[in-house]
Structure 1
């Protein structure tokens, strides 16, 4: 199986479509190239991503233009010829797994206040824990 994991920024808000009885969410991720070109500029590769089923609902709810995301799945390369007769290529990723984008710090802190009132000790499990050296048993 050909799998890859990428990290980058979402190019525009995801869109949704229906394929048979399944919902599909489509979005693109801009991935910065590792090496600069001759001018010192880093290029960007665009990867088309598709997510099927219930995960598509999650993508539509939490992924937005500009968010930094990490996605992984099975990849393929589509090739076609444009109107000028030039070959074109697009990397497409059928996403199996993804990390939700980090929310802005102010949004996290307002959610922390609401969750800490619920008494859930793991409500803030995705955020750093403030522990002083004096509270450690070793």
Structure 2
């Protein structure tokens, strides 16, 4: 089983890129505090690299900012590449499958393109008419 769940704060804004095929990929790092102190009585922090793909990458790039707290659920992945000197380098990262945005003020909660709002109340419009045409119905 390969399952990772983290809660941490972003160390910088997510970096959004696109593959040559146009697939969105966002990378960012979260700082996660360890539950215990070290021998000197100090809290230690792990800095964990996160990769999100496709729509999740777009959402992370739209909503997450440096310092914001997020919960990440995903899987651990290790990959390798050869650096400029020809030395094999290994990278361990978490591939995000689900991200929850845990804090932020209302001004930060509006997406740039008025798309899905992960902070919003899913029942805010309950009982109100839905604007939908017969062409949108699957039956």
How far 1:121 moved relative to its partner? 9.3
Identify unmatched segments of 5+ residues in structure 1: 83-87, 112-119, 125-138
Give the structure with the larger helix fraction. Answer: 1
Identify unmatched segments of 5+ residues in structure 2: 84-88, 111-120, 126-139
SS across alignment from 1:54: helix
In structure 1, what is the Cα distance between the partners aligned to 2:71 and 2:41? 26
Within a 5 Å distance, the mapping from 1:114-133 to structure 2 comes to 122-123=123-124
Aligned 8 A contact 1:62 1:101 in 2: no
In structure 2, what is the Cα distance between the partners aligned to 1:42 and 1:69? 20
How far 1:98 moved relative to its partner? 1.0
Which whole-Å deviations, capped at 9, do the CAs of 1:1-53 have from their partners, x for residues lacking one? 41110001011000011123201010000000111011111111011001100
RMSD: 3.1
SS across alignment from 1:59: helix
TM-score by length of 2: 0.66
Deviates more, 1:89-98 or 1:6-15: 89-98
May I ask how many residue pairs the two structures share in their alignment? 108
TM-score by length of 1: 0.66
Q: Structure 1 runs of 4+ off > 2 angstroms?
A: 76-80, 88-91, 120-124
In structure 2, what is the Cα distance between the partners aligned to 1:54 and 1:73? 15
Q: 1:6 to 1:27 in 2, by over 3 A?
A: same
Larger radius of gyration: 1
SS across alignment from 1:123: coil
